Amino acid sequence: MGAKLTVIENRCNHDIEIRVWVSPARPDKFQSIIRIEGEGGWKEVNSKNFIHADATILDDNDDDIEFVSSTLLMIYMDGVYTGYYFLPIHLVKYAKVICDINEDGLFVVQGIKPTFNFCRFKGCAYFPYLRGNKKEMI
């Protein structure tokens, strides 16, 4: 996970919506809406689906053009904007995004970065070049 797929988990009691908005559109027009049920609902989101190269920014040299996506993923809870949004760049960095309400009743978004735990096979292998029938741990 991370890089391509990001899991968005909702630990709130309320349903949340993530509305995908691209900047030249009207403020009430969304490209798509991702609905996540409350109390442990989750969705896998492919961040590459939201990258649109529709805005251009010139470099310092004014020769090179960089394409920058102007897509916002805005978080709504029960139809009300929470004040939080994602950029597609944020989704690429995290393997899991957790939406929750803290003790004070405030909406909180936490990101968990991907970690790689490499498991090493701990079986026994027989190496014929060793003396006798010794086995070596791999």
How much is the pTM? 0.66
Tens digit of pLDDT for each residue in 51-110?
655 544 445 555 555 555 678 888 999 889 998 888 887 788 888 889 999 899 899 999
> Which two tokens mark 131?
């003396």
CA-CA-CA-CA dihedral for 128, 134, 137, 138, to nearest 10: 0
Kindly list the domain boundaries of the chain, sorted by start residue: 5-137
* 31 pLDDT above the threshold of 80: yes
- The pairing of beta strand 5-10 with beta strand 96-101: parallel
